[in-house]
Structure formats: C-alpha cells, structure tokens
Amino acid sequence: MNRWHFALAPLLVGFGMIMPSAHADGILKKLHLGKPQCEPGFQIVEEIVMQDVTRTICKMVPETKKKWVYSVIDDPFCVQNSKHGQCPQCSGPYCRKLLVKKQIDEPCPTMKCVTETIVERLPVKVYRKVPIATSDKDKK
C-alpha cells in the first residue's frame, strides 16, 4: 500500500503544479459559454474596447562593462587685486587642472539575455448591463 502512495505522490504534485500555470496563461479563460444572463428589464450590450495588455519577453543584447575613465581639463581663473577690485587690474589669468571622472560602457563580445516589458493596445470584448429603454406609447 505504501508503494502506491509513493508512486502516486509525484504525479499528484506534478498535476497540482500544472493547473495554476495553465490558469495563469489563460488556457482556462478560452472556455467562454456565450453572453452572460441578466434580470428582466435589462439587456446585455456587447462592446469592443481597447485595453492595454502588458507582457514580458526575453531578448538578447550585447553585454557591456562599466568602466571609469579619468581625464584632466584646464580651468582658467583670475585673482582680483584687492586694492582696486576691478578685473583689468587683476594679476592673472591663472590656470588650474581639474580631474574629471566619466563612466563609459565598453562593449564585450558576449551576449546576455534581458527581460523587456511590452505594452500593447488590444481590442477586448466587454459586456455591459443597461436598462431597456421604454417608449412613451408603452407608458400610456
């Protein structure tokens, strides 16, 4: 008896894992039985509306390495003469060096797989419940 339990347990676990994924993919959603029913005095109206549908795909892109590059640039400046306070009387221009740090992407010969989210506008069938319009002749 215990052998049968051990033999059936992996099958039941496997079946339990398949069903939620089938539901997530929409396989079970395709079993539509027609228009929904409504109470008297109302009617079901079928409309086609555009809806945003997102899906995630994988795609291959070239791999890059981030690399820091250092360079030096000149930065000219003046030292004002404190007696006069005007630039024509200054004792300059002087030049100082500034260290600049940049990050660059260096391409690699390998490819990597990345995910991308795509948003698409698709037509979707929607059912609305609306009251049935009565005319003035029916009221009299």
DSSP state of 34: S
User: Confidence class of residue 124 from pLDDT cuts 50, 70 and 90?
Assistant: confident
Residues 98 and 103: their CA atoms lie apart, in Å, by: 17
Strand duo 42-77 + 94-131: pairing: antiparallel
Q: What CA–CA distance (Å, rounded) separates 127 from 33?
A: 13
Model pTM greater than 0.85? Answer: no
Of the candidates 116, 135, 2, 122, the residue with the CA atom closest to the CA atom of residue 59:
116
pLDDT tens sequence across 10-67:
656 665 555 554 444 444 444 455 666 777 888 888 889 999 989 999 999 999 999 9
In angstroms, the CA 91 to CA 87 distance is: 9
**What is the per-residue DSSP string for 37-61?**
P--TTEEEEEEEEEEEEEEEEEEEE
